[in-house]
Amino acid sequence: MENILEVTHLTKRFGSLVAVDDVSFSVAPGEVLGLVGQNGAGKSTTFKMILKFLRPDTGTILTAGQPITTEFFDQLGYLPEERGLYLDMTIQDQVEYFAHLHGCKPAVTARRLPEWLERLAVKGDAKTKVKDLSKGNQQKVQLITALIHQPRLVILDEPFSGLDPVNVQLLIKVVLELKEQGTAIIFSSHNMKNVTAVSDKLLMLVNGRCRLYGSIAAIRNRYERKELYLEGVNGNDYPGVIARRNDGLGEVLTFDSQEHAEAAIAMVRNDERLQGFRLLEPTLDDIFAWEVKADE
C-alpha cells in the first residue's frame, strides 16, 4: 500500500535558526501518526510545509510517490492550532463555505452536516450562529470544517486543546472511526495519554530534529523498565530504590535500573503475602522528559 504522505529529509531555516532539521516520516491509509515535541520543536512549521504555507529549504514531500499538486488539497483536511471562524455566520454557512473550497457541493454538505453535529454533540443546530456557541463548541465546528469533505489525509494541530474530558473522548472516538475508514491522520498534542490512545506511530521532535520515530511499542521497548508494582508486600528495602509511591491497591517502586527491579522480583517472588507484581512500561511522558533533558 502506497503512503498517502511521505516526507524525506525536510529542513527549514529562519535566518540562523534551524526550525526543522532533516526530518523524515510517512503515513499510510488508515494510519495515525502522533507528532509530539516541546513548544518550538518544529511541529507547526512541519505542518505548514506540508500545506505549502512555507517552502522547505531542502527535502521532498510526496503523495503516492508523486509531488503534491493543487488537486491533492481537495483531499486534505486541516485543523490549525490557531482557530479561526467567521463568528457572524451560521454553522451551516460556515461549514458550506470551507467545504466549497475543497470542491464539496452545498447540497452534499447540508446532507452530511446533521450527522456531524450529532457525532460531536454540538450544542446548537445548523442555523445557530457561531458567535452564540461556547468556545468548545466553536472548536467542534472548526473540526467539522476539516472533515466534512471526507478527506483522505487529515492534519490536526493540537486538536485536544481547550476540550473537557468528555469532548476529548468524543474526538478520540471520531479519530478512531476515521482510521477504520482508511483515513490517514497526523496530529500534534502535548497530552501523551491522548497520543497513546489513538496513535499507531510516534514522531518526537526535539529542537527541530527527529529524536524518536516508530511504533509506540517499539519506542517503549528501547527503554528500561525501572518501575515495579507490588501488591500485598511493602516495607522492604530493595537495592536501587530511588522512589516509591502508593497507588491505592499496591506500591510502585522506582529503581535506578531494570537490573535492580528484576532483582527485587527475585527477592519477593516466594513471599506468601505477595498478591501480584509486574514491571511497568515507561510512559510516553517519561520518555518525552528523558529525551528533552538529554538534549539540554
pLDDT tens for 100-154 read 999 999 999 999 999 999 999 999 899 999 999 988 899 999 999 999 999 999 9
Outline where DSSP puts E strands in 140-191. 153-157, 184-188
CA atoms within 13 A on the CB side of 33: 26
Burial 28-45, CB ≥16 within 10 A → b, else e: bebbbbbbbbbeebbbbb
The 10s digit of each residue's pLDDT in 222-271 is 999 999 999 988 767 889 999 888 877 888 999 999 999 999 999 888 88
Please choose, from the candidates 2, 36, 14, the residue with its C-alpha nearest in 3D space to the C-alpha of residue 205: 36
Q: What is the mean pLDDT of the chain?
A: 91
Rounded to an integer, the average pLDDT of 171-186 is: 95
Share of the chain above pLDDT 90, in %: 64
CB 31 within 8 A of CB 175: no
- Grid coordinates representing 179 are 482510521
Identify the CATH homologous superfamily for domain 5-220.
P-loop containing nucleotide triphosphate hydrolases (3.40.50.300)
The residues, any chain, with a CB within 8 Å of residue 5's CB and separated by 6 or more, are: 26, 27, 50, 61, 62, 63, 153, 184, 186
Q: Where are the domains of the chain?
A: 5-220, 227-280
